[in-house]
Structure 1
Amino acid sequence: MILGDGGISTAGDTTDPRPVLIVTGLVQEAKIAAGPGMTVICSSSDPVQLRSLLADFDPATIRGVISFGVAGGLDPDLKSGAVVVATEVVAGNSRWSASEVLSDELIAGAGVGRQKVFRGGLVGVEKVVTGQAGKAALRSEFGAAAVDMESHIAAEFAAKAGLPFAALRVVSDPASRALPEIATTAIKPNGDIDMRKVLRGIARNPLVIRALVSTGRDFNRALRSLRDCRSYLLGHTNLVSADV
């Protein structure tokens, strides 16, 4: 899914009318990010779909790339709602540094919004990491703050296009919490939640309700934090020449 805005950007350098590309995984994230000066891609938490969307996307039509959304916490000190601005993104043996200028501007904007921001690495994965052991293993291997399924793909796209890249991710499920499997399999192709699948899962295993409630509470807290970030961190960002 791609949401576009054809107007002159109000988010940043008005001498360049091209929008910023915002890469998200969920429709809720895409709705928060959408606005003047933004072109939003929603992958529906499907890396294959995201790569397909970006393969057909003309990088000459944008002036920068920001990965924006929720993430799984890897740093045990980060609670749900914590804001992470990436210093780098790693995936396997690949590594992409975030634009220092763009990242600094994101953090400066966060101060306006009274958001406490953590700087750290992100790990990109192809499947949701649900268990505490899996998160701990990624933390041990990469020393990263959080994990998501879009940032590594967005970073690679930006690097190939010579565009500045940054990532702003809010922790949803902290390192200490395991996600119930149903929470990761009930996502429709458009990014919406398949409530029928959720209800069927609850009917099969009523004990999952407590875990779902905790997951939902964390997710809603992360979305609130993401909304706060949207008005300040994205709305006050001035994208400059790529320094990737």
Structure 2
Amino acid sequence: MTTEARIARRTGLPVACSGADPYAVAQRLLDEGAAGLISFGIAGGLAPLAPPGTLVVATAVAGDDMTILASAAWRRALLNALPQARAGAIAGASRPAVTIEDKADLYARTGALAVDLESYAVARACRERGRPFAVLRAVADPAGRALPPAALTGLDGDGKMAPGAVLAQVLRDPGQLIGLCRLGLDLARAMSALNAAARAFPRGFLGLDPLQSVGDVA
């Protein structure tokens, strides 16, 4: 998350890390006067044809209880600035989609292009406060690749790398090393895509009229 935040600052917008409780952070930002929120970072791929580095601009965020539509105006602005991006739903999850089977099941249920752990919390907080939101994510691990267990212990509570935890996992199961190397390459592609997107971010974005997309539920 700290790397994602560093890249996000290149958009020129204020940035906050979601941490362990993205809903609480989203509420705080809105209470402090944020005009709306953008969920920015990496995601897990769900669609078969969404390789690492695919940029996704959300049309909506699908949660367990409802699907919340993103700002139509903000989505159009992002897609105009980022013609390589794909528009589609993002699935919001409370835990990572680890296995290929997990991803296939989530794709079958939601039709979402990708999944992350923060966007639904952002969408819900914005809907409750009547504020617009957008989602810009880059696919890291694709639908056809499982996450190695060591990757799930590789971050601390502040979103910083915890190399000691990763090393301990690899020592217990050296077979994960190949999967971690592949994940490293996937992450590099995702971060490169995010960096390019941040540099091409539409100027005056927050001044755009979010139109009729505030709080809409599909």
- The equivalent position to 2:44 in structure 1, one of 52, 56, 72, is 72
Partner of residue 7, structure 2? 32
Counterpart-to-counterpart distance in 1, 2:16 and 2:162: 20
Consecutive unaligned residues in structure 1, runs of 5 or more = 1-25
Alpha-carbon shift at residue 235 of structure 1 (Å): 4.3
Deviates more, 1:141-150 or 1:225-234: 225-234
Say yes or no: does 1:148 pair with 2:116: yes
| Counterpart AA for 1:29 | E
- Report the alpha carbon displacement of residue 182 of structure 1 after superposing the two structures with TM: 1.2
Matched, 1:220 2:192: no
Does residue 63 (structure 1) correspond to residue 47 (structure 2)? The answer is no
Change (3 A) 1:188 1:240: same
Amino acid in the other structure paired with 1:32:
I
Structure 2: how far apart are the matches of 1:214 and 1:100?
35
Which of 86, 90, 106 is the matching residue for 2:58? 86
Mapped partners of 2:43, 2:101: distance in 1: 16
- The answer as to whether partners of 1:82 and 1:117 remain within 8 angstroms in 2 is yes
Cα distance, 1:62 vs structure 2 = 1.6
What do residues 156-197 of structure 1 show as CA deviations (whole Å, max 9, x unaligned)?
111122222110111000000000011012211221110011
Answer yes or no: is 1:95 the counterpart of 2:67.
Answer: yes
User: What's the TM-score once normalised by structure 2's chain length?
Assistant: 0.91
Q: TM-score, normalised by structure 1?
A: 0.82
Code of the residue aligned with 1:95 in structure 2: it is T
Structure 1 residues 238 and 141: CA distance shift in structure 2, 3 A: same
Q: Residues 117 and 71 from structure 1, CA distance in 2 versus in 1: closer, same or farther, beyond 3 angstroms?
A: same
What RMSD in Å do the two structures reach over aligned CA positions? 1.6
Q: Which amino acid aligns with 2:151?
A: A
After TM superposition, what 4+ stretches of structure 1 lie above 4 angstroms from structure 2?
none
How many residue pairs get matched? 212
Q: What corresponds to 1:211 in structure 2? A: 179
Tell me if the contact between 2:30 and 2:36 (Cα under 8 Å) persists in the aligned partners.
no
- What amino acid is aligned across from residue 34 of structure 1 in structure 2? R
Task: Kindly state the Cα deviation for residue 238 of structure 1 after the two structures are TM-superposed.
Answer: 4.8
Alpha-carbon deviation of 1:41? 2.0
Alpha-carbon distance change, 238 to 53 in structure 1, aligned in 2, over 3 angstroms: closer
Structure 2: gaps (5+ residues): none
**Using the alignment, how far apart are the partners of 1:176 and 1:53 within structure 2?**
32
Contact 2:55-2:136 at 8 Å conserved across structures: yes
SS at match of 1:38: coil
Partner of 1:5: none
Mapped contact 2:11–2:199 kept (Cα < 8 A):
no
Q: Using the aligned pairs only, state the percent identity.
A: 32
Give the 3 Å change call, closer, same or farther, for CA 78–36 of structure 1 in structure 2.
closer
Q: Work out which structure has the larger RCO, using CA pairs closer than 8 Å and 6 or more positions apart in sequence.
A: 2
Distance in 1 (alpha carbons) for counterparts of 2:35 and 2:99 = 37
Q: Which amino acid aligns with 1:31?
A: R
User: What letter is aligned with 1:93?
Assistant: D
